[in-house]
């Protein structure tokens, strides 16, 4: 895609701090550095979000995430864990509409990154959960 910032990075039109690249993906430091080592892994092919992947590309891209994650973790003995985040759609905080995975190293529970999940379990009966479950199953497709 001509105006996509990540496509421009793939084409070499915008410089990046690349940590891994092959024929399928490119991984480079996020310039925001949520924590030191914060890396983005993107497919070289322009894919807007998770909903646009086919099984083959998903397999190829996802298979590379552990390799990059291990390299990041091994790069600094202070790294104790990692969040791997993929936002899809503006409502889910996607700001660049070229699929990308954030690999965010975690050093302490008080570093510069946070995620919280609210416990809404009191709002869902077993019947409602079964209804949601069945709706997803019915839309699974091939």
Q: How far apart are CA 28 and CA 83, in angstroms?
A: 16
Tell me if 114 sits within 8 A of 35, measured CB to CB: no
Residues 6+ apart with CB under 8 A from 25: 41, 42, 43, 44, 60, 61, 64
Q: In the annotation, is 100 catalytic?
A: yes
Active-site residue identified among 38, 46, 98, 100: 100
Instruction: Give catalytic residue positions.
Output: 100
């Amino acid at each position: 895609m001509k105006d996509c910032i990540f496509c421009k990075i793939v084409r070499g039109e915008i410089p990046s701090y690349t940590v891994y690249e092959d024929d399928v993906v490119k991984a480079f430091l996020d310039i925001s550095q949520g924590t030191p080592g914060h890396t983005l892994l993107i497919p070289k092919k322009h894919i807007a979000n998770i909903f646009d992947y086919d099984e083959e590309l998903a397999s190829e891209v996802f298979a590379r995430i552990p390799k990059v994650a291990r390299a990041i973790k091994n790069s600094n003995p202070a790294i104790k864990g990692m969040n791997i985040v993929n936002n899809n759609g503006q409502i889910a905080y996607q700001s660049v509409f070229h699929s990308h995975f954030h690999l965010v190293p975690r050093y302490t529970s008080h570093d510069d990154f946070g995620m919280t999940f609210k416990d809404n379990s009191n709002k869902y009966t077993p019947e409602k959960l079964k209804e949601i479950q069945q709706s997803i199953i019915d839309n699974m497709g091939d």
